[in-house]
Structure 1
């Protein structure tokens, strides 16, 4: 009961301080407000950045490794580019070999994409689209959802049946007044029957490949369409590992061994292929965003420090103004710890108000959200902001509270 009474009494004193000296109190709390805003805004923006990047990279899949000619990142600056160019592309035979011999391989698919293509349906045209040819297993690796229709059957995929699953953007552009399923679209002089439509993916922060502007066809159909005309094809393999292979070290080592064996690469010869992990991109971005959070926290702490001194100044003024009141309280039997906690809680509430103002400003950042960059103040950052502001109040109020609690009641009453 004593604690509850002390709590509400301290809250009342803090509110009175705001009412009686509004301008002075707000200016003093400005440091806490700016500090909390700086820290939590950085945390919120970094979280939004992480979420947007994760969403952008989700198109690549989880526990996934890509096998191709080119690495995602050129870690060897002095390595001649033409050596990458001269590397052989993965083949269907390699895809089958890995599928049959990979112990750590959960699923593997071969794919190739051709960009900058035009799709037609009657008088409607979709330009700058992508033709994406892949084997049947891609459905078990990629996380894309088919909103309407279905995926290829094993037979359709193996025999190169000219069926297609189209992106949401393509469907909207070509079939504005009706269902796309069962209709026939044209591209590169070939006709494809639409059997499915992907769920809308929308814009991504990293401008990663989107399903919205593509048509997906069986890989064998793409080969017939291009290779039969002598056009160049450079496919890649996409390999999904098992969950227990946490760092994908097992599958990476196994793939390297299988590819070197299949291609007959001698022990002293270098690899003529690239193994690319999407996890490496996520880890790199995580380290960058971690550094941003640290930098934002340091910058915010300087503002918090200024705010802490301002609150301490308010509390010293408050102690001086209420010296006689402190003397009367002590004369009536109030213990030192009661006076200490009273001023300590008051300082905490004042800082708390400043923190709430800062969090309110952070929540306003959501007005600047875009489709690919959603900003929102989550519960964790809200709690962190409130905790920091309350902690600053306690630390700032400890010295004034101690000075108030140690006052001699007689001398304090004489001060009036």
Structure 2
């Protein structure tokens, strides 16, 4: 109980000391404020970017590999001339893989055609048309808000049915329930069987923005577009382990090389791409941003720490007489130490809270499709760094105050 009372008294002394020198307090916490703002702002930006990118990547699936003609590139020279003569993946190869792969949860064939005009009566808009096979909802997120997904029969007979995005529904069927109604894609009638939940803008519309997309059976897509748009992607979902995914890649490579009659000395004439490669490339950029934030913020915090230490030494000198009186009345060394240490920590915490508050205000700024979110972890990090700076900056002045001789301190002027 006595310890708690002394702790409370130490906080009260610290608060009174900070209030009595308000201008000096504000100037000393400026460096800490700027440092914490720089660090937490960068962390908040990185976390928000990662969250937005992960949300975008969820629409192209997790633990998924893409069998395509060209490999993805994330920097460096792209030697496209090595891949230009490769054959396009074929629907027959999709069937071949789907029948033989043992380490796959799902195998899907899909193809895209952009800037296609879709119409219903006097309403029209430009849409992204995606033809796909049945298991597309296994490898990717297809949030149906209204209606249903494809049936096996609809895929098998290439029926003219469509799952449309929210923007397509709003533009072609304003104020109506589109389920069961028809619209035209390239002059052909398609019946709406489902409407996807609105995604909104995102940093990366990987695989196309689902809000403007029309999903249709691959057979229907092929009849309309394959003569002018032969590009086909074979997408394979693996099991939820990295080892299983590596086995799946090896199995795909072996089967496809056999199918295409490649000799052992020949290179692959296809590419196996993974979304994780994109995430890793972007993660490298985030790591650089994080280091930059620590460096910039670290210099500011260092300056702020020296400022706090300097002020604490001044404070000890100003209150030497009071320290002598306290010790002569029986105050222990740790009580004096706590008074000055709490003052340094409180000063640093106020600076840290000011920096965090500035980041919070920054989160209300409009950055297009990027939404800044100040997380509890980043708030805790800011407060933790502030407390550490306060302890480091105040420990030496606090020790010097605690070790003062009461007789000499009382006589100090």
**Corresponding position: 1:217 with 2:201:** no
1:234 partnered with 2:231: yes
| 8 Å contact kept, 2:320–2:412 | yes
Q: Is the 8 A contact 1:14 1:346 kept in 2?
A: yes
- Partner in structure 1 of residue 106 of structure 2: 107
**Partner of residue 200, structure 1:** 198
SS in 2 for 1:59: coil
Cα deviation for residue 364 of structure 1 reads 0.8
2: CA distance between counterparts of 1:82 and 1:288?
Answer: 28
Aligned to 1:358, the other structure's residue is in SS state helix
Shift of 1:182: 0.9
* Cα 1:78–1:233 shift into 2, 3 Å: closer
CA contact (8 A) 1:67 1:275 kept: yes
1:315 aligned residue: 312
Tell whether the 8 Å contact from 1:245 to 1:251 is kept in structure 2 after alignment.
no
Contact 1:365 1:376 in 2 (8 A): no
For residues 198 and 341 of structure 1, the distance between their equivalents in structure 2, rounded to whole angstroms, comes to 60
Partner of 2:38: 38
- Trace 1:8-407 onto structure 2 (pairs within 5 A): 8-73=8-73, 77=77, 79=79, 81-127=80-126, 129-208=127-206, 209-227=208-226, 230-246=227-243, 248-370=245-367, 372-407=369-404
Counterparts of 1:332 and 1:160, CA distance in 2: 94
- Does the 8 Å CA contact 2:29/2:308 hold for their aligned counterparts? yes
Quickly say closer, same or farther: Cα 1:247–1:140, change in 2 above 3 A: closer
Query: How far, CA to CA, are the matches of 1:13 and 1:401 in structure 2?
Result: 13
Q: Is the 8 A contact 2:103 2:244 kept in 1?
A: no
Q: Structure 1 residue runs of 4+, over 2 Å off?
A: 74-79, 81-86, 244-248, 369-372
CA offset at residue 370 of structure 1?
A: 4.3
How many residues end up aligned between the 2 structures? 412
Instruction: Report the Cα offset of residue 77 of structure 1.
Output: 3.4
Separation (CA, whole Å) in 1 of partners of 2:37 and 2:17 = 23
Distance in 2, Cα, partners of 1:48 & 1:369? 13
Closer, same or farther in 2 for the Cα pair 1:240/1:381, shift >3 Å? same
Q: Please state how far the C-alpha of 1:75 moved relative to its aligned partner.
A: 7.2
Q: Deviations over 1:150-196 (max 9, x none)?
A: 11110110110001111111111111121111111112121101111
Q: Deviations over 1:222-266 (max 9, x none)?
A: 112234xx4341111111000133572111111111110111111
Contact 2:14 2:339 in 1 (8 A): no
Give the deviation of 1:206 after TM superposition.
2.4
Structure 1 unaligned residues grouped into runs of 5+: none
Distance (whole Å) between structure 2 residues aligned to residue 3 and residue 35 of structure 1: 34
Q: Cα distance 1:74–1:334, how it changes in 2: closer, same or farther (>3 A)?
A: closer
What is the rounded CA distance, in whole Å, between the counterparts of 2:241 and 2:375 in structure 1?
Answer: 31
Q: TM-score, normalised by structure 2?
A: 0.96
Verify the 8 A CA contact 1:31 1:304 in the aligned structure 2: yes
Contact 2:11–2:339, Cα closer than 8 Å, also in 1? no
Cα distance in 2 for partners of 1:41, 1:231 equals 48
Contact 2:113 2:225 (C-alpha < 8 Å) held by counterparts: no
Please report how far the alpha carbon of residue 21 of structure 1 lies from its aligned counterpart in structure 2 after TM superposition: 1.3
Find the residue that maps to 1:161 and give its secondary structure: coil
